Structure 1
Amino acid sequence: MAITAYAAAWFLPFVVPICLYVVYTDVSRMKITNVANLALAAVFVVVGLIALPFDVYLWRLASLGIVLVVGIVLNAAGVMGAGDSKFLAAAAPYVAIGDLRLVLVLFMAVLLASFVTHRVARMTPLRRLAPHWTSWEQGKKFPMGLALGTSLILYLVLGLLYGA
């Protein structure tokens, strides 16, 4: 992996609670809050200075802007939600460019598992554990924050275990 175990170790304790909050709010309310996205970006801005060499830090910070612009375009085209777009932008700096292919494969696997798990829970008595969650009633819509937050956590865990 291109991410260093050192960087993953610095990011992980701060990113996990934010991502778990994103997962919860998206499944329960179909909303990824701006506060969560800003917190994720702020953690990178502060912790990234410690965890990464400065030149790498600047390039990764630039990825936030690039992904945000692409996300705005995709949101305007109706391809994805605004919260999802902002989360992707805030999460982009955490991903080493050399790991992009791995992250895409990881995301596809997590997305499939998240979708199946959400649909099964929605159609079984498990739904009674949280009967008022908005995502149960959304028809074809899916709380993408479930897959996005989980993917970032798993990527950083893999980076901690197998990073450079």
Structure 2
Amino acid sequence: MSLHITVQQALWFLPLALPICLWVIWSDLRAMRIPNKAVLSLAGVFLVVGLFVVPQPEYLWRLVALVVMLVIGMLANAAGMMGAGDSKFLAAAAPFVALGDFTLMMIILATNMIACYATHRLVRASPLSQLAPDWASWSSGPKFPMGFALGSTLVIYLGLGIAFGS
């Protein structure tokens, strides 16, 4: 298996994106909210680091992906399909994904979303939820903290980029 993201790109992006993704996961589980500061921080990492590790024509196309995903996310939010924070995070994460890895990324996202949903529901129904009894996601009814799946998906993708990148 070979990904289109380069090992060098993944090595630069992962250490900077990881703490932001963990912040997003924790915040969404705790408060069912993804902070704008986290989204802007993630976008800033790509804007700055990407200038040095992504070739210029590709860098610009990845910025187009950010805009496209922001528009799609806004439409999904308006239709009640996802939260505004989820939409913004998805847009900020989009440029980290090499365009040739889009299909693989969708497979990772779908698989990880199922795993995160099942894990969240199992933990919510178990005594483990008492380790963080004040987390809003435990009592959110049918709502699911998508930041859990979105943040971990980006981390998984970048980790695979280190292992299998071009």
What's the TM-score once normalised by structure 2's chain length?
0.97
**Structure-to-structure mapping, 1:28-43, within 5 angstroms:** 28-43=30-45
**Which residue pairs with 1:141 in the alignment?**
143
Alignment gaps of 5+ in structure 1: none
After TM superposition, give the deviation of residue 72 of structure 1 in Å: 0.8
Q: Deviations over 1:72-103 (max 9, x none)?
A: 11111111110000000000000011111111
Q: Aligned partner of 2:33: which letter?
A: K
| Partner Cα distance (2:111, 2:146) in 1 | 13
**Which residue pairs with 1:157 in the alignment?**
159
| Partner Cα distance (2:138, 2:39) in 1 | 24
| Partner Cα distance (1:104, 1:65) in 2 | 18
**Structure-to-structure mapping, 1:1-164, within 5 angstroms:** 1-164=3-166
Q: Aligned partner of 1:76: which letter?
A: A
Q: Deviations over 1:57-85 (max 9, x none)?
A: 11101111111011111111111110000
Alignment gaps of 5+ in structure 2: none
Identity %: 53
Q: Aligned partner of 1:152: which letter?
A: L
* Equivalenced residues, count: 164
Q: Deviations over 1:140-161 (max 9, x none)?
A: 0000000000000000000011
Runs of 4+ in 1 over 2 A off after TM superposition: none
| Partner Cα distance (2:14, 2:126) in 1 | 33
After TM superposition, give the deviation of residue 51 of structure 1 in Å: 1.1
| Partner Cα distance (2:54, 2:160) in 1 | 17
| Partner Cα distance (1:124, 1:102) in 2 | 33
| Partner Cα distance (1:115, 1:77) in 2 | 21
| Partner Cα distance (2:65, 2:115) in 1 | 27
